[in-house]
Amino acid sequence: MSELTTVARPYAKAAFDFAVEHNAIAKWQEMLAFAAQVSANETVHELSTGAMAADKLADLYIKVCGDSLDEHGQNLVKVLAENKRLTVLPEISALFDLLKADYEKEVEVNVTSAAALTEAQQTELSSSLEKRLARKVKLICNVDPALVAGLVIKAGDTVIDGSVKSKLNRLADALQA
């Protein structure tokens, strides 16, 4: 996975820079998401990894994508085909989404709680996290009764575990030591 990220990063960065320059971030995000879905198709994936000539593969890919790709999106597909990189389109799309979120100062935060959070709790939690992370927060709430009580908050590499289950596990470890 990290190898794919390394290969995809320059393409995602170039596409994002181009999209910002031409004020077309949403359009590029749609194009890349669609192209990534096409790339993930089993038949298309087999053709992408086969011995088909790059120009024929690019033409086929562009025909499959149809109107979902504009001229610049088609150029990206041609470059990827020439460099035998069409298989990394899903990773390019994912990295593009991360660049967009960073550009817009937005972060997805996964919140797992023992019981469903009310709207008021979600609003309060969201505003607290926005202050702490200095970004616009998009909450994704999940329920896991095994937590007993409390929350587990994950935002990128940051994890805040305030669940009773975790505290009980730490207490058990301390008593056994």
pTM of the entire predicted model: 0.63
- State percent of the chain over pLDDT 70: 95
Residues of CATH 1.10.520.20 domain(s) within the chain?
A: 2-102
Q: Which residues pair with 154 in a beta bridge?
A: 110, 159
Residues of CATH 3.40.30 domain(s) within the chain?
A: 105-176
- Per-residue pLDDT reduced to its tens digit, 59-116: 777 877 778 888 888 888 888 888 888 788 889 898 988 888 878 787 888 898 888 8
108 versus 127: the higher-pLDDT residue is 127
Query: What would be the CATH architecture of the domain defined by 2-102?
Result: Orthogonal Bundle (1.10)
Structural class in CATH, domain 105-176: alpha beta
| Region 5-27 average pLDDT | 86
pLDDT surpassing 80 at residue 3: no
Q: Which residue has the tokens 């100062």?
A: 105
Closest CA to 112 of 145, 137, 134: 145
- Per-residue pLDDT reduced to its tens digit, 144-163: 888 778 888 888 778 888 88
3-state secondary structure of 110: strand
Neighbours of 13 (CB within 10 A): 14
Calpha distance 122→93 (Å, rounded): 29
